[in-house]
């Protein structure tokens, strides 16, 4: 899982406000297969490699849908 503080307003930015964050969910194995030992990755590359972009309100559902095998 990756997290991006997408809010750009310097006066109103609040890292504690989860509405100002975007979350990317992708299985580690899938990402490792795509980029190997690369140490940095941006949002565009995450999307290109199949990461699911979600908000904090949908994070739990998305996490289980993408990373937990069915029946677990």
Query: How many of the other CB atoms lie within 10 Å of CB of 39?
Result: 5
Q: Give me the long-range contacts of 40-47 (CB less than 8 A, separation at least 24).
A: 41/2, 43/4, 46/2
Given a contact cutoff of 8 angstroms between Cβ atoms, the answer to whether 35 and 49 are in contact is yes
pTM for this entry:
0.83
**32 vs 71, which has greater pLDDT?**
32
Number of H helices, E strands in the chain: 3, 3
Cβ neighbours for 4, distance < 8 A, ≥ 6 positions apart: 21, 22, 23, 24, 43
Per-residue pLDDT of 16-48, as tens digits, reads 999 999 999 999 888 889 898 888 999 999 999
């Amino acid at each position: 899982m990756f997290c991006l503080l997408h809010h750009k307003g310097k006066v109103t930015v609040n890292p504690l406000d989860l509405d100002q964050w975007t979350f990317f969910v992708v299985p580690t194995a899938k990402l490792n297969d795509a980029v190997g030992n690369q140490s940095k990755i941006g949002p565009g590359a995450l999307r290109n490699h199949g990461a699911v972009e979600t908000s904090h309100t949908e994070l739990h559902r998305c996490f289980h849908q993408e990373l937990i095998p069915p029946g677990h």
